[in-house]
Each structure stands twice: as structure tokens, then as C-alpha cells.
Amino acid sequence: MTASTAPAAPSASRPRPVDFSDPGPRRRRRRRLLVTVLVLLVTGAAVWLVWFSSVLEVRAVRVVGADGIRAEEVLQAAAIPIGRPLARVDAAGAEQGIRALPWVSGVEVRRGWPNEVVLAVEVRDPIAVLDPSAGLPDGLGGDGAAQGPWGIDADGVVFPVAGELPRRLPKVRAEGAALVAATAVVNGLPDDLLKRVVSVTATTRDDIDLHLRSGDVVRWGSALDSETKAEVLQALLQRKADMYDVSAPELPTTFRLQ
């Protein structure tokens, strides 16, 4: 008899190695959730710290570029409350309030972390003084002359000056466009010629006269060609006269009053 051979059992598949580096979908979801919660907590704490806590609140407001009475005016115009969180300070509103001061030509409101606000202002520099008899431009108030003196800067802006004006600034009697033109003439005069001018009058922007300390008068005309007119006038002043006309610098004339 032949012996029968039993069928061979199928070989079992080899087990896969366990990947311990893979945390599995559930563990990854938990990790992402934890990271999200931590980010929200940190963000919320930062927002509270900056916008609502007293840690970064305003404890001092400092003025740069002005002192004394002027600094007090800046502080009042800015109206920044002590104790408000620095991030919630209305910098644009403070800047607008300061710019309304007629003697301020520029301003910047800076947050000085952690607890300070800095108000940096630029003050107008007077190159002439408004003749008190001319009155004040519209918008400055009828009783403002009593506060005086009133300076005029290179742009023709009239503003109150704290304290004393620089010595020997020329007085200007004009208003509106004539005031701006007269100021432009003063600003363009060379120093040696400016020292001779005691006052400037202008009825229109094309009718400007310079009054010299000697008592003589210069008919200047408009503010155009001021550099050429100044050169011509300096040459004419070598000749004694009561009136010098350089309104047409190519045809200057002089007059003697009898």
C-alpha cells in the first residue's frame, strides 16, 4: 500500500512591525486641539494685557519741542487721560487737537512703551511781527490783540508768540493774499538788507512797500523776482533818495521829495 501524504498547511503571513512613531488619528487630533487651545489662551492673554490691563497704561505724557505755558497748552489740546491703556490712546484725535493751536506747525504723537506718551511738536518761527494797527486775520478773535505779540512765519501764518519776539523784526501791515506776499518778500531779503527794513505794507499782493529805518521807502511791487530786486536795490542805496522803485527791476528809479 502506498502511504498518502497529507496536504501541507498554508504558511502564516509574517506579522507587520508596530510603528510606535505614529500616534494614530485620535492622538494627532488631541495634539492639534491642545496646540489650538494654547494659542488661543496666549493670544487672549496678550490682548488683555495690551488693551485692558493696567500693566501697559498711560502713566506719563511728555511734551518735546515746547515748554512752559506752551507745553501746558499742548497737554490740554491733546487731552490724553492718565490710566488709559496705551494701545487705546486716540493718537489721531490728540494730533488733531494739537494742530489746532495756531503756533504749532507740526506734531507727532508717539507711544513710548510701556507707560508713556510723547507729544513732539514743531513751533512756528516768526520772521516778522503783525502791525497791531492792522488788526487780526479772520478766525483769530477780535480780543486776541490784547494777548500779543503776534508773529508771522515764513508761510504767512499769524500766531501768538509766548514771551518776547526776537529784536528788530519788521512789522507787516497787510492781510489775506497781500500778507502772504509781503511775508514772502521779507523771507527772501538778504540779512544786510533786512536789517534796514522797519516795516512792510501791502494793500494787494502786487503793491508791496518796504519802509527803511532811514525813513526812505522802497516800492517793491509783487513778490516776483525778489532776488533780482534785492540786488538792484542794494546798488541804488548807494545813491541818496527818498523813494526807490524796484517794482520793475530792469528799469529802476529813484525819487527825491521836495
Q: Residue 41's pLDDT is what?
A: 72
Q: Which three cell numbers stand for residue 123?
A: 513751533
Each domain of the chain, given as residue ranges in start order, spans: 60-123, 128-255
* pLDDT value, residue 151: 94
Fold of the CATH domain 128-255 = Rossmann fold (3.40.50)
String of DSSP letters for 86-138 = GGG--HHHHHHHHHTSTTEEEEEEEEETTTEEEEEEEEPPPSEEE-GGG-PPT
Query: Are 47 and 102 within 8 A, CB to CB?
Result: no
Q: pTM value?
A: 0.73
Output phi, psi for 137, to 5 deg. -60, 160
Class of domain 60-123 (CATH, top level): alpha beta
pLDDT tens string 211-223: 999 999 999 999 9
Q: What is the pLDDT of residues 200-212, one digit of tens each?
A: 999 999 999 999 9
**pLDDT tens-digit series, residues 94-143:** 999 999 999 999 999 999 999 999 999 999 999 999 987 766 766 665 44
Indicate the helix (H) or strand (E) that contains 157: none
* Length reported for the chain: 258
- Please determine whether the domains at 60-123 and 128-255 fall in the same fold group of CATH: no
pLDDT of residue 25: 74
Instruction: Give the count of beta carbons closer than 10 Å to the beta carbon of residue 87.
Output: 14
Listed as ranges, residues in the chain with pLDDT below 50 are 1, 142-146
Q: Could you tell me if 61 and 75 are in contact, meaning their C-beta atoms sit under 8 angstroms apart? A: yes
